[in-house]
């Protein structure tokens, strides 16, 4: 069974600093994808970054990077140069690639607050 | 523009009054899914559909129905809503399972309150 664990209910970071949001996962499927989504107070789910289980390099998208450590089953999100607009809930999620129903299994989220 | 649309965005209703939340995608995706989001519980899957006329239960299907008569539409039906179905609902779509990159695209969410 899939499982995503986000151990930080809330985080604070100073504007312009970098912050790491933790995510560990558990799956027996060798093929899977890891996603991070941002949910601002308006409620929509915004896709940030993706990492495939076979990808050799860590994914990066602008100020977002994913620190993928496969052996440790961790997929931490790093946000560099935090901005006030980064204040939101962040969800780590995983989807197995080759099962019949491939729901996106979510962690419980981390609320990030960026302080000026 | 590629998108998933949901309607209504906000709904307040009363116990027992049947309602339908519509979901439509314009990306020709085979796979569609409904999630509900509750504080402290994250997002949980209600129902999913692998293709037209193919639907199945997710983790929390009780009290919900779905249909998939057309590829683009996947409505969520609450035959007799109850207060414990007060939640934020998301529809999502993606390509068929089996691809290595299968991001789910989310609709904007429907905030439902059942009194």
Which tens digit of pLDDT belongs to each residue from B63-109? 999 999 999 999 999 999 999 999 999 999 988 766 656 678 999 99
Q: What pLDDT does B64 receive?
A: 98
Confidence grade of residue A103 (pLDDT, cut at 50, 70, 90): confident
Q: What pLDDT does B97 receive?
A: 67
Residue B35 has pLDDT above 70, yes or no: yes
Q: What pLDDT does A99 receive?
A: 61
Nearest to A45 among B41, B99, B106 (CB): B106
Q: What pLDDT does B32 receive?
A: 94
* Interchain contact B58–A (C-beta under 8 A): yes
| Phi and psi angles of residue B83, each rounded to the nearest 5 degrees, phi first | -55, -30
Q: What pLDDT does B100 receive?
A: 56
Q: What pLDDT does A1 receive?
A: 58
Whole-angstrom CA distances from A48 to A82, A91, B9, B107 are 14, 10, 23, 15
Residue A33 has pLDDT above 70, yes or no: yes
Confidence grade of residue A104 (pLDDT, cut at 50, 70, 90): confident
How large is the average pLDDT for residues A82-102? 86
Q: CB-side exposure of B61: number of CA atoms within 13 Å?
A: 11
CA distance A9 to chain B (A): 9
Cβ pair B45, A103 in contact under 8 A: yes
CA–CA separation, B110 and A112 (whole Å): 23
CA–CA separation, B73 and B77 (whole Å): 13
Selection from B3, B4, B11 nearest residue B110 by Cα:
B11
The DSSP annotation for A81-111 comes to S--GGG-EEEEEEEEESSSSS---EE---EE
How large is the average pLDDT for residues A41-70? 93
CA–CA separation, A61 and A59 (whole Å): 7
Q: What pLDDT does B98 receive?
A: 61
CA–CA separation, B109 and B101 (whole Å): 23
Residue A109 has pLDDT above 90, yes or no: yes
* Interchain contact A89–B (C-beta under 8 A): no
> Which residues in B lie closer than 8 A to residue A107 (C-beta atoms)?
42
Residue A31 has pLDDT above 70, yes or no: yes
């Amino acid at each position: 069974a899939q499982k995503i664990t986000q151990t930080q209910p809330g985080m604070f970071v100073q504007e312009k600093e970098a912050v790491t949001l933790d995510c560990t996962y558990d799956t027996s499927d060798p093929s899977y994808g890891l996603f991070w989504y941002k949910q601002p107070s308006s409620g929509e789910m915004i896709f940030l970054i993706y990492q495939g289980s076979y990808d050799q390099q860590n994914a990066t998208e602008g100020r977002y990077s994913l620190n993928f450590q496969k052996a440790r089953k961790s997929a931490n999100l790093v946000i560099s140069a935090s901005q006030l607009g980064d204040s939101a809930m962040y969800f780590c999620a995983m989807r197995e690639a080759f099962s019949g129903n491939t729901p996106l299994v979510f962690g419980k989220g981390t609320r990030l607050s960026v302080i000026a | 523009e590629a998108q998933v649309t949901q309607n209504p965005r906000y709904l307040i209703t009363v116990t027992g009054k049947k309602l339908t939340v519509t979901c439509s995608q314009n990306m020709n995706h085979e796979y569609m899914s409904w999630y509900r989001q509750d504080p402290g519980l994250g997002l949980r899957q209600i129902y999913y559909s692998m293709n037209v006329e193919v639907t199945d239960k997710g983790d929390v299907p009780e009290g919900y129905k779905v249909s998939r008569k057309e590829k683009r539409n996947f409505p969520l039906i609450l035959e007799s809503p109850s207060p414990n179905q007060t939640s934020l609902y998301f529809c999502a779509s993606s390509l068929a399972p089996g691809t290595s990159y299968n991001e789910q695209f989310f609709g904007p969410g429907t905030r439902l309150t059942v009194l």
